[in-house]
Chain A
Amino acid sequence: MAKVQGAIVINIERCKGCEVCVGVCPESVIAMSKAVNGKGYHYAEPINENCTGCTNCAVVCPDGVITVYRVKI
């Protein structure tokens, strides 16, 4: 089985901290930050390297702040 590895990039200044992406991630990659962004929201951030690039987080993000990359290894 081909293994895949992914990575997400979050535009933290546009993130509104709704936490919808946290629940849809099958690999529990995303958590909310302790720090806040310019608008005062606790933004989403990747906390481990388990991302498979499934794009679930990106498709549910209401503000479209998540960009997803994926490679086959």
Chain B
Amino acid sequence: MTREEIIKEENLVYKKTALFTDKALSYCPGCGHGTVHRLILETIEEMGIQASTIGVAPVGCAVLAYEFMDIDMMQAAHGRAPALATAVKRLNPDQYVFTYQGDGDLAAIGTAETIHACNRGENFTIIFINNGIYGMTGGQMAPTTLPNMKASTCPYGRDTAMMGNPLKMTELVAQLPGTYYVTRQSVHTAGAVRKCKKAIRKAFENQKLDKGVSFVEVVSNCNSGWKMTPVQSNKWMEENMFPYYPLGDIKVPQV
């Protein structure tokens, strides 16, 4: 069969979801943000909830998420996405609400909002992108930066004696009674992307149950901040990030 015979509408098996706007994504080549955006939008499309979903965009690289997602979105002040999402969900309990935050947003300036929203057991989904660095502002050290990992504000590597240890936010919120489903995923290989999509789908479906926060951490790369090519950064992530941030479900609902 020739290529032209295969490329027909009836043979289509995968296509970028129509819930993306026509704007080109502003992320660096190979950045996991684009993949996670797509997984969220695919989940929304499959659940048929485009008209009843409200997203909350963070401050960080994903600050323009509302430009790319063709759904209702709000923009929170830095770190305050869980507080805003709390208000949105309480006022619109029948809507699906999610926040999309990076590690500088969720684990640094927004620690209080995150922990209290999780502790109160608000009924929304938090998508947390952890790349161990402040990507947008130029690769500064984040709370999640690994020991001895170089960043622009710790050029000799993170010295844990002086700068403390990386914050495992996901394990932290899993301790709280208000969280219902807590998991850590990644999007660097096809298998990981498919698993991550299942986790995001579950996190959205949990909102029907009204049991508390569903928290999905996605360990991602930041090839610009890490000063690597996308392929190298994915490999570096496997070798260095995963031992510290192991993938898998951390808290699953007891049935």
Contact = CB atoms under 8 A, between A and B. Distances in A.
A71 B29 contact: no
Given A60-B35, A69-B11, A5 B6 contact: yes
The size class of the interface chain B forms with chain A is 35 or more
Interface of A: 5-7, 9, 14, 16-20, 22-24, 41, 49, 53-71, 73
A60 B189 contact: yes
6 contacts: A60-B187, A60-B189, A63-B25, A63-B27, A68-B15, A71-B6
Contacts of A16: 28-30
* Secondary structure call for the B interface: mixed
B16 A67 contact: yes
Contact of B230 (A19, A56, A57, A73): A19
B180 to A, nearest CB: 27
Interface of B: 1, 3, 5-8, 11-17, 20, 24-25, 27-35, 38, 187-190, 193-194, 223, 229-231, 234
B34 A24 contact: no
Given A20-B234, A69-B8, A64 B13 contact: no
